[in-house]
């Protein structure tokens, strides 16, 4: 299941890059960051819900900052 999620998030990232849409590429990157943090926290323990909230919150922060930067720099 995780591999399918990573492939889907990577597809969003690649679509954004190929379509030259920074916002979509940043969104795909945010999804991948969220998934990575979720898996990095796995050895620490804790529920999947807790790790998901932490991971996808960090991914969301990346997306907000990235989209704002893309808006002001392009």
Q: Which residue, 72, 68, 74, is CA-closest to 26?
A: 68
Contact (Cβ atoms closer than 8 angstroms) between residue 35 and residue 4: no
Q: What is the pLDDT of residue 1?
A: 82
Model pTM greater than 0.85? yes
Average pLDDT estimate for 25-46: 94
Question: Among all chains, which residue has been given the structure tokens 């399918």?
Answer: 4
Percent of the chain past pLDDT 90, that is, above it, reads 89
Q: What is the pLDDT of residue 45?
A: 83
Q: What is the pLDDT of residue 69?
A: 96
Residue 58 pLDDT exceeds 90: yes
Q: Return d(Cα 6, Cα 19) in angstroms, integer.
A: 20
A 10 A CB-CB count for 24 gives: 18
Domain boundaries, the chain: 2-73
């Amino acid at each position: 299941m995780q591999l399918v999620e990573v492939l889907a998030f990577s597809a969003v990232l690649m679509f954004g890059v190929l379509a030259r849409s920074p916002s979509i590429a940043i969104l795909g990157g945010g999804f991948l960051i969220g998934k990575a943090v979720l898996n990095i926290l796995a050895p620490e323990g804790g529920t999947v819900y807790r790790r998901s909230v932490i991971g996808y919150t960090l991914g969301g922060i990346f997306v907000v900052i990235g989209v704002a930067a893309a808006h002001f720099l392009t």
